[in-house]
Amino acid sequence: MSNVELDELRGRLDEINGKLLELISERAAVVQEIGVIKEKQGVPKFDPEREKKMLDELVASNKGPFTGSTIRSLFKQIFSASLDLQSDEHKKTLLVARKSHKEDTVIVLPGEVTVGGASSLMVAGPCSVESELQTRTVAAALQKAGVRVMRGGAFKPRTSPYDFQGLGMEGLRILREAASEYGLLTISEIVDPRHIEEALDYVDIIQIGARNMHNFELLKAVGEVNKPVLLKRGLSATLDEFVHAAEYIMSRGNTQVMLIERGIRTYERSTRNTLDISAVPILKQECHLPVLVDVTHSTGRKDIMLPCAKAALAAGADGIMIEVHPDPATALSDAAQQLNIDEFNTFMKEMNASGLFR
């Protein structure tokens, strides 16, 4: 007999479930309408006071069997799902979001070099441009190794104001000359909106460094030029912040943006930073932009750069950045972590042999 009873009770549950679904959906539609109005008024969508009032009223009229706190918690879930609906739409409308642009963005650089397409990109070069000789030596080695894009810092953000700050515009000029001599493209970090215009003559890709990922005035400024930008993830930026930093650039009109994971700050001290490998597939899913991995800054250790570069490509990265110096021990910055030219050649050979570097 009790099974008949059970079946009956289950039938009632199913009925109630159906009604709950209808009501919850209806509720969500109303919240969406409210969202549209608030959007127009420029008023924040989340209204904590209103939510509190609704919850208080629900708890007040609750007659059990749930406790007030269970009711509060269940309705907070429902309210928050409705709010998420609005933010899902917000994410849908981010220019960087894959939701708004299904295909991978492929950036075409001079000389038919592409980023984000069928072939992997290798960006290599010294941490800092130090001299013409040093820069030309690296450029020659890169050309020989089949690399197409050369990095080299001219404006160096350093922890101490008394550390070597880079050669500035003169460094960019040296980089451009060496690169041109060896048929390479250039990438270099810009740290001040006032330098952008002059720098455009020297760089093919503007790099925004980790310390400036949150420098929104600089992001806006590079958003207004017609030059590809490589944006580094901040020292401890969340992926959400990283994606929005890219949006700052794109929202100003510059659609040629590349993202680069460079390790995050954690408690672990056996690496300089912790390479957040999950960032690669997440960024590829959420955005349509090319994603690179900087194996030098993320690890700070030459002895694991090769496996980490392979891991990056296996995880879906579109390219790798690595530092190379003719004589790392005497480098003016990042001495311990730059490969020398022999080490770099071995690295490239292994990358090519891995089948992961396309």
Kindly identify the residues of this chain, within the stretch 283-312, that bind a copy of itself according to CB under 8 A. Answer: 285, 298-299, 301, 303-304, 307-308, 310-312
Rg from Cα positions in the chain:
26
- Asked whether position 108 contacts a copy of itself by CB under 8 A, the answer is no
- Asked whether position 132 contacts a copy of itself by CB under 8 A, the answer is no
- Asked whether position 19 contacts a copy of itself by CB under 8 A, the answer is yes
**Peptide bond before 65: cis, by omega within 30 degrees of 0?**
yes
- Asked whether position 40 contacts a copy of itself by CB under 8 A, the answer is yes
Phi, psi of 259 (to 5 degrees): -105, 145
- Asked whether position 58 contacts a copy of itself by CB under 8 A, the answer is yes
**Alpha-carbon distances of 58 from 21, 34, 63, 64, 328, rounded to whole Å:** 19, 20, 10, 11, 67
308-311 contacts, C-beta under 8 A, 24 or more apart: 308/275, 309/347, 309/351, 310/351, 310/354, 310/356, 311/275, 311/277
Q: Please say which residue, 147 or 315, places its beta carbon nearer to a copy of itself.
A: 315
Q: Nearest approach, Cβ of 256 to a copy of itself (angstroms)?
A: 17
- Asked whether position 146 contacts a copy of itself by CB under 8 A, the answer is no
Q: Which of 174, 191, 206, 351 binds a copy of itself (CB under 8 A)?
A: 191
Q: Nearest approach, Cβ of 164 to a copy of itself (angstroms)?
A: 8
CB 205 within 8 A of CB 196: no
Q: Nearest approach, Cβ of 313 to a copy of itself (angstroms)?
A: 7
Q: Please say which residue, 209 or 228, places its beta carbon nearer to a copy of itself.
A: 209
Q: Which of 336, 346, 352, 358 binds a copy of itself (CB under 8 A)?
A: 336
- Asked whether position 70 contacts a copy of itself by CB under 8 A, the answer is yes
- Asked whether position 193 contacts a copy of itself by CB under 8 A, the answer is yes
Q: Which of 151, 232, 244, 288 binds a copy of itself (CB under 8 A)?
A: 244
Q: Which of 65, 118, 146, 226 binds a copy of itself (CB under 8 A)?
A: 65
Q: Which stretch binds a copy of itself (CB under 8 A): 4-12, 100-108, 137-145, 181-189?
A: 4-12
Q: Nearest approach, Cβ of 170 to a copy of itself (angstroms)?
A: 14
- Asked whether position 248 contacts a copy of itself by CB under 8 A, the answer is yes
Q: Whole-angstrom Cα distance, residue 68 to residue 62? A: 7
- Asked whether position 206 contacts a copy of itself by CB under 8 A, the answer is no
Footprint (CB under 8 A) of a copy of itself, residues 214-233: 214-218, 220
Closest C-alpha to 136, from 126, 146, 145: 126
What one-character-per-residue DSSP string does 38-86 give?
Answer: HHHHT--S--HHHHHHHHHHHHHH--SSS-HHHHHHHHHHHHHHHHHHH
**Alpha-carbon distances of 201 from 57, 83, 175, 221, rounded to whole Å:** 64, 46, 11, 16
Q: Please say which residue, 90 or 173, places its beta carbon nearer to a copy of itself.
A: 90
- Asked whether position 46 contacts a copy of itself by CB under 8 A, the answer is yes
- Asked whether position 29 contacts a copy of itself by CB under 8 A, the answer is yes
Q: Please say which residue, 113 or 301, places its beta carbon nearer to a copy of itself.
A: 301
- Asked whether position 50 contacts a copy of itself by CB under 8 A, the answer is yes
Q: Whole-angstrom Cα distance, residue 26 to residue 38? A: 19
**Through-space distance between the first and last CA atoms of the chain, rounded to whole angstroms:** 68
User: Which residue in this structure is represented by tokens 């890709």?
Assistant: 205
- Asked whether position 266 contacts a copy of itself by CB under 8 A, the answer is yes
Number of residues that bind a copy of itself (CB under 8 A): 137
Dihedral angle at the C-alpha atoms of 268, 311, 255, 149, nearest 10 degrees? 100
Neighbours of 224 (CB within 10 A): 12
